[in-house]
Amino acid sequence: MAIPESAQFQGGESVRRFFMRLLGERFSGFVDFDLATKKRRVFFDEGKPFSAQSSVPGESLTDLLVTRRLLRAEDKAVILQVARDKKLPLELAAIDSGKVSEKDAVDTLRALVELLITQSVSEESGSYKLTSKPGLRTRMKGELVDTLALLARDEISDVALDPQVAKARQEIREAFEKQKTQGHYEVLGVGEKASADEIKKKYFDLAKLWHTDRYGKLDLGEEAKLQLESLFGKVSDAFNTLSDPRKRSDYDAIMDRKKKGLPTDVSEIMRAESAFKRGDALLTRGEFQGALKELTLAKEINPGEAEFWALYGLALYSAEHKAVEAIAAVHKAIEIQPQLARAFECLGRIHKAEGENQKARNNFQKCLDLDPKNINAQRELRLMAMRADSGKHQPVKNGGGGIFSKLFKK
């Protein structure tokens, strides 16, 4: 009987049987495991796994490469960008980027496959979905993993283990699960205002706690070893970041953006910037609908940029004449950055178009107070002054003529 394309499972034993059926049916393609907030994908060729992906922090190929000290944490973004740009599997992107050797990428991918399978077997419940797709392995780089040998390993269960080994595995597993959601300060157990000495002391304490030498005489098994490497690696990463003033400052800025719900992915920030530049250019050319589309995208991706909101407000007014919403958007820009000259320029242009000349003048002048070189505000004030001056010299109509005309009417 063919394996159902999707189904629920309960407990590790049902997952074991599922893997056995994949092997027996010589399944080729990938399986998506949905475990509440955890999502894992395992690729198979003729029933044997050879590659894997995960949404769980610490369970991606790049995370594991960093943990194994085969990749610098700051180079993860480079590999992810190569994968996006060239539409490559992560292991090929890692090799193509030049940041990781082929052997290290393949060896680490194998470890990731084993980790994800053993982790999936340990889940209490979840569901899976099969996608049959033969030939995937020819486009990827992973090596086949012996499922039978993997599922037969003792480390999937701590039953009947030496009590000391079982205790060590439990200690490591609990710390590993807890650390997945922790930032650098939490990993080290210090506050955000911690001094350099506090950070150093905590690092040495934790480095001793999670160093492999502490467990040197115990047969922890592959899964616990990988988790231990991850624990030690994250402690080291936290120390390296927080002990360097420049790196700490950058990290604090990123964490602050996260708290505010702002993007921290460099590629996303650059995408927003590109959309903003396109929108700015279209606005200048009078292509208001196109400008509104680009500036909407920019402020949705990165809502913390004041200038994005200011130009979005002007584009919204120019394209759809929604004065209330447009003015509110520009005021949001001023709320984010009170000294943003361009925001007052945008307000001035909207108020001028609405016929609110005094408000327009006030905002153009505020813009110039903040940025005397703003040519748009300079031009607008000059034009408004010329029109006002011109109005003073217009001939008076409807009986407003000079003395001779009045005499003739008598």
Two tokens, residue 395: 């001939």
Two tokens, residue 122: 């340990």
Provide the 8-state DSSP code for 398. Answer: S
Residue pair 156/118 in contact (Cβ under 8 Å)? The answer is yes
| Alpha-carbon span 5 to 206, nearest angstrom | 45
Output the pTM of the full model. Answer: 0.47
Judged by DSSP in three states, 9 sits in strand
**What's the confidence (pLDDT) of residue 157?**
46
- pLDDT tens string for the chain (410 positions)? 567 888 887 766 788 888 888 888 889 999 998 876 688 999 999 989 999 998 887 788 998 888 888 888 889 989 999 999 998 989 999 999 999 999 999 999 998 998 888 877 777 778 889 999 988 888 888 899 888 777 765 444 444 445 777 788 888 888 888 888 889 999 999 999 999 999 999 999 999 998 888 887 777 777 788 888 888 889 999 999 999 999 999 889 888 888 877 777 777 888 899 999 999 999 999 999 999 999 999 999 988 899 999 999 999 999 999 999 999 999 999 999 999 999 999 999 999 999 999 999 999 999 999 999 999 999 999 998 888 777 655 554 444 444 333 333 33
Q: Max alpha carbon distance in the chain (Å)?
A: 125
C-alpha torsion angle, residues 14, 20, 23, 26 (rounded to 10): -60
Whose tokens are 């010329």? That residue is 386
**What's the confidence (pLDDT) of residue 12?**
66
**What's the confidence (pLDDT) of residue 392?**
57
Handedness of CA 200, 205, 208, 211 (dihedral sign): negative
- What structural domains and CATH numbers belong to the chain? 6-152 (no CATH), 163-259 (1.10.287.110), 266-389 (1.25.40.10)
